[in-house]
Amino acid sequence: MQPEQVISPWPKRLMISGIVIGIIGVGLFSYLLDDFNDYYDPRETNEHSALLGENNRFEIEPGCWVVNLEGDDDAYNVKFRYVENGSQAEDVPTGCVTDFQAMSGDTDFSTIAKLDVEKKSDIIVIIECEDGEECDRPIYFTNGDAVILDMVTDQGLISTLGACCLGAFLFPLGWILMTINKNKTSKVTLLESQVSEIMSQEESFIKGTQNDILTTDQVYKLVRGEGPEIQEQKTDVPSPFSNTDTRPTAVSKAKSTGSIYSASAHTPEKPPTDESWKNWDES
């Protein structure tokens, strides 16, 4: 029998650490949620803006520029052209792809165009409005690639996601290790006093048995901590006297025989043939 194994405290510590780190990550995410939402709000991330009736000419860097308008853009007719040598040139190409998408909790945005700018350039924005409509809302220009890069390199975002992922990894790992240790320690373990008692019973059993090999049932009982059934040995010590047998003998039960245990076979018509009944009657 092996003594009880010492349970390592590290699996439980890992599981508790995973819970704590996960809670910290969720708390940081809730605290910084507004800051994360600002990355998708063109009012916060735009680098240029244009208004109807103004000189909307500016220089933009290479990238995929997302042009957004707060609300519906049905009344707006917007054109984007390069400026070369102080005059308008060809239209700026559109249709680039970016992961940036304008959104906010308090309003909706319309996407007018996505400008594919390959190099640093001067552009001019021409805004036309349908008759009878109010076009006083600004148009926002956001470099989608630059915003996504800033977001993924944000230290707060990295710390928050790292804490959530680390907590999600440590908790199941600690739980798995605790389950493995629990299965190991669930084996039969005996105290030192129980081991001594079982060993002494085993020695007595081995001495008193004629078989050198224990049976399967006997081994199973020993593993479960059940003592073997020891049969008392019968001693056969010869008597020291030649004419007297002093060995103990089993007391046999008296047999239930005699006239009081069975009906008599004699009747008045068939009396006994001897005179023994007279001797019993006279006594």
**84 and 124 fall within a common domain:** yes
pLDDT at res. 112: 93
In a domain, 274, yes or no: no
Question: How many structural domains comprise the chain?
Answer: 3
In a domain, 218, yes or no: yes
pLDDT band, residue 216 (cuts 50/70/90): confident
In a domain, 249, yes or no: no
pLDDT band, residue 102 (cuts 50/70/90): very high
**75 and 135 fall within a common domain:** yes
In a domain, 261, yes or no: no
Contacts of 176 (CB under 8 A, 6+ apart): 11
* Residue-number span of the structural domain to which 173 is assigned: 10-35+155-185
**107 and 124 fall within a common domain:** yes
**51 and 136 fall within a common domain:** yes
In a domain, 102, yes or no: yes
Residues above pLDDT 90, as percent of the chain? 27
Distances (CA, A) of 270 to 26, 146, 261, 274: 113, 135, 20, 12
pLDDT at res. 251: 59
Residue with tokens 């006297």: 241
In a domain, 166, yes or no: yes
Q: How many alpha carbons lie under 13 Å from residue 271 in its C-beta half-sphere?
A: 7
Give start and end residues of each alpha helix (H) in the chain.
10-31, 33-38, 42-45, 144-152, 155-185, 192-208, 216-223, 276-282
pLDDT at res. 190: 46
Structure-block tokens of residue 268: 């008045």
**160 and 28 fall within a common domain:** yes
**Tens-digit pLDDT profile for residues 226-281:** 655 555 555 566 666 666 666 666 555 555 555 454 556 666 677 766 666 666 55
**31 and 58 fall within a common domain:** no
